Amino acid sequence: MSAAAPILDVRGLTVDFAAADGGTIRALHGIDLTLTPGETFALVGESGSGKSVTNLAIMGLLARNARVGGEVRLEGVGDLLALSSRAMGAVRGGQIAMIFQEPMTCLNPVQTVGAQIGEAVRRHRGGSRAQVQAAVIEALAEVEIPDPERRARAYPHELSGGMRQRVVIAMALACQPRILIADEPTTALDVTVQAQILRLLARLRRERGMAVLFITHSLAVVAEIADRVAVMYGGRIVEQARTAELFGHTRHPYTRGLLESLPVPAARGERRLRTMPGQVIDITRPPPGCAFGPRCALRIEPCDEAPIPFFPVTPDRASRCLRWAEL
């Protein structure tokens, strides 16, 4: 769906988890996506839609009871799913870095933030003690942390939430990755700090030319930062498009429901917020047909018979809905 050659090409990605009864539970059903240099691609959907499982599968960070299928091809490396643990360890952090949504869960409380950034630099870039320290200070300054020399000696609990998130971003970018995966990095922050972090990520992406895979449940965030977007539901991508096209005209009932649940500024007229009926799909008991079918007002009999294929709407757009042309 993108003319440029992809730096990351995910094809038919599936994830199955071993269940207590000896069976398996499928969490991802054949995810296809591409990421090109310099772009921001967003995965959006409700909690439980499969967004985080997707990025953890790409990074090779799923639990041992997970079985991953398909291909995750990184330009110049090959299929990441075929790499040994040692080889994947070199890719993780060095070529693909990740920002998690809650920095206190990924920062060591008994080490200074400078020591933690320095550990990543030593592993992936090497250098003398002085060179590593210089790289740490440079990384903290790049994410706009004031007085980086002093902050490098601070412990995580001595920093604000926004400052800790900047440290996590600095740690991810210190090794100069080609791809940055951001897993809801602004969820735990207030609105003002959230806007600062989004502007920071946008600036760093432009300056470095890196690709960003942004995971979020917020369409407002998607509208601000993404070039392209994929909407996920029930472990599947149900709609994929360029961001402006998606917001201009949805081609899937689930996407429409997400947009209609957004508050509208008073200047555009008043309307009640709409909610989607029903509950998020139970992946242990998926319906035989469309995953969104039980909650969809447009459902027809064929929707219940078999999983819905991805219909190409345009060369840059696709929808997993039998009635996409009517939307």
23-57 residue pLDDT tens: 999 999 999 999 999 999 999 999 889 999 999 99
Q: Which of 42, 88, 34, 40 is nearest to 62 (CA)?
A: 88
| Residue found under tokens 């990924």 | 106
Q: Which of 218, 157, 214, 215 is nearest to 191 (CA)?
A: 218
* H or E segment to which residue 139 belongs: helix 129-142
Sheet bearing 66-74, strands edge to edge: 24-35, 8-18, 66-74, 78-79
Name the pTM for this structure: 0.91
Domains of the chain: 8-95+213-264+273-326 (3.40.50.300)
Per-residue pLDDT, 118: 95
* 3-state SS, residue 327: coil
Query: Beta strands 8-18 and 24-35: pairing type?
Result: antiparallel
92-113 residue pLDDT tens: 988 999 998 777 788 999 999 9
Q: What is the mean pLDDT of residues 207-232?
A: 94
122-139 residue pLDDT tens: 988 889 999 999 999 999
Percent of the chain whose predicted confidence (pLDDT) is above 70: 97
> Any residues with CB less than 8 A from the CB of 19 and at least 6 apart, and which?
25, 284
Cα angle at 231 between 228 and 237, to 5 degrees? 105
C-alpha 20: how far from chain center: 29
